[in-house]
Amino acid sequence: MATETAQVVIVGGGLEGAAAAWALSRRGVTDVVVLERGTVGSGMTGKSSGIVRCHYGVSSLAAMAAVGLEIFEQAEEAFGPEIGADIGFRQTGYVVGVGEPNVDQLRRSLAAQRAVGVETEEIDADEVAKLWPWADLEPFAAFGWERRGGYGDAYQTAQAFAAAARAAGVRIRQGTAVAGLLVEGERAVGVRLADGGEVHADTVVVATGVWTRPFLAPYGIDVPIRVHREEIVMVSPGTDLGPVPVFSDLVSLQYVRPEVGGDMLFGNSDLAELSIADPDDYSNHPTDGIVETAVEKVGTRFPKLTEASIAQGYAGCYDVTPDWNPIISRGPLDGLVIAAGFSGHGFKISPAVGRLVADLVVDGASSDPRIPERDFRFARFAEGDLLTTPYPYVGAGEMR
Ligand SMILES: Cc1cc2nc3c(=O)[nH]c(=O)nc-3n(C[C@H](O)[C@H](O)[C@H](O)COP(=O)(O)OP(=O)(O)OC[C@H]3O[C@@H](n4cnc5c(N)ncnc54)[C@H](O)[C@@H]3O)c2cc1C
């Protein structure tokens, strides 16, 4: 069987593996092989809602989202004029609304976001009413507004990362399943392919999303990722919504965004209870429960959309860690980097994830002081030192 060598081998050609390959190539590291058992973006990346916002209470995540936003805005420069011509980013703006108990937290969070360079401000209900004239804004007490937010296309973005990396010399092998790591002593030295081949490398990056826990378990590495099935409902608004922004409603715990083609994408942000699933065997069809929830929540928040109806729906899976934040970390084996556990919010930060992985591979540390690698270390779970927001929202704890 064939044996190949590379400086870096990346397992998983989803958004995060492709972003890592792109970022490594931007740092001049092009002796890189990406191994993807399906095709680039064929995992959970294809299911993403693609929402782009920097509204995070955790400062390092807000900074990562700001980095992501800059790359999406300057895609032609980041990926080259042809590849970056349209990666699907739509800059509609992003509005987040909270009720009375969360006003103080919202204001403190906005100030912390501004401190790491996020362009965000508070706006009043009159301004939001102009943006979303169909909404009942009565229950809200304060709103945050990001003019530069919006939504993107995670699948297209993954293709752009991969194409730009390939153009720089990175080898991307699709249809190539990895059977496991090659380990010598305490060091990962490469991977074994399902066809019996081997790729030897100085560094192995594992970016296998919801499949990460079983992939690393044979080496005594227990990555505390649970797989949660998340449903999305498409609503036909029955009218032309025009250029509405993404709306994150932290009173009734939902988010909506316009969809190319005129529909409205609904997501339930009440994640208090996980719906544990098998990522290789889960239903893609929305349950009656989520359809009822969508009807109730959309109906309550947007009472003036009197002709709205359910168009369709689908499901994907989140790779959820105990603190709902990713692992982007060297170790626990030498030569190993884990980039997984994105917990349903890995799209907007993907360019920064790629950069941090590249920094960890090349320098062993983050090059951006706003994004300390310590925040995302694997060891935080064992240490009981979770990455949580200093500004938690009452009743919306999962809004990180
Ligand atoms: C329904 C849904 C809505 C979302 N909405 C948003 C949002 O609005 N905003 C946001 O920021 N994020 C969102 N996300 C999250 C974001 O899309 C994900 O975090 C991101 O796409 C995950 O990328 P990934 O590369 O980690 O995983 P994946 O895309 O799943 O890629 C992992 C890849 O590894 C491959 N693989 C696994 N095992 C092996 C092996 N042994 N050998 C070779 N290849 C292997 C798989 O085939 C797969 O392609 C959403 C996710 C879902 C599911």
Instruction: Identify the residue whose C-alpha is closest to ligand 1 atom 34.
Output: 12
Half-sphere exposure of 186 (CA within 13 A, CB side): 5
pLDDT tens digits, 150-177: 999 999 999 999 999 999 999 999 999 9
Share of the chain above pLDDT 90, in %: 96
What gap in Å lies between CA 364 and CA 329, rounded to an integer?
Answer: 9
Query: Ligand 1 pocket, 207 CB below 6 A?
Result: yes
Instruction: Identify the residue whose C-alpha is closest to ligand 1 atom 25.
Output: 14
pLDDT tens digits, 337-367: 999 999 999 999 999 999 999 999 999 999 9
Instruction: Identify the residue whose C-alpha is closest to ligand 1 atom 27.
Output: 209
For the full predicted model, state whether its pTM sits above 0.95. Answer: yes
Structure tokens, 205: 């990056």
Average pLDDT value for residue range 250-277 = 94
State yes or no: pLDDT of 397 exceeds 70: no
pLDDT tens digits, 197-209: 999 999 999 999 9
- Ligand 1 centroid to Cα of residue 141, in Å, is 35
Structure tokens, 387: 């990455």
Query: Ligand 1 pocket, 345 CB below 6 A?
Result: yes
Structure tokens, 356: 């941090």
Query: Ligand 1 pocket, 49 CB below 6 A?
Result: yes
Q: Are 346 and 39 contacting, i.e. CB atoms less than 8 angstroms apart?
A: no
Query: Ligand 1 pocket, 269 CB below 6 A?
Result: no
pLDDT of residue 260: 86
- Ligand 1 centroid to Cα of residue 209, in Å, is 5
Q: Which residue is associated with the tokens 């591979």?
A: 361
Query: Ligand 1 pocket, 68 CB below 6 A?
Result: no
**Average predicted confidence (pLDDT) for the chain:** 97
Structure tokens, 236: 């036909």
Average pLDDT value for residue range 258-285 = 94
Query: Ligand 1 pocket, 87 CB below 6 A?
Result: no
pLDDT of residue 200: 98
Angle at 279 between CA 263 and CA 228, to 5 degrees: 70
pLDDT tens digits, 19-77: 999 999 999 999 999 999 999 999 999 999 999 999 999 999 999 999 999 999 999 99
Q: Which residue is associated with the tokens 């290789």?
A: 280
Query: Ligand 1 pocket, 16 CB below 6 A?
Result: yes
Query: Ligand 1 pocket, 15 CB below 6 A?
Result: yes
pLDDT of residue 399: 66
Determine the length of the chain: 400
Instruction: Identify the residue whose C-alpha is closest to ligand 1 atom 37.
Output: 208
Question: How confident is residue 2, by pLDDT bands cut at 50, 70 and 90?
Answer: confident
State yes or no: pLDDT of 315 exceeds 90: yes
Query: Ligand 1 pocket, 344 CB below 6 A?
Result: yes
pLDDT tens digits, 360-388: 999 999 999 999 999 999 999 999 999 99
Query: Ligand 1 pocket, 325 CB below 6 A?
Result: no
pLDDT of residue 395: 83
Average pLDDT value for residue range 298-303 = 96
Instruction: Identify the residue whose C-alpha is closest to ligand 1 atom 19.
Output: 346
> Comparing C-alpha atoms, which of 300, 250, 323 is closest to residue 102?
250
Query: Ligand 1 pocket, 342 CB below 6 A?
Result: yes
What gap in Å lies between CA 300 and CA 20, rounded to an integer?
Answer: 42
Query: Ligand 1 pocket, 178 CB below 6 A?
Result: yes
Structure tokens, 161: 């990362």
Instruction: Identify the residue whose C-alpha is closest to ligand 1 atom 51.
Output: 48
Nearest ligand 1 atom to alpha carbon 279: 30
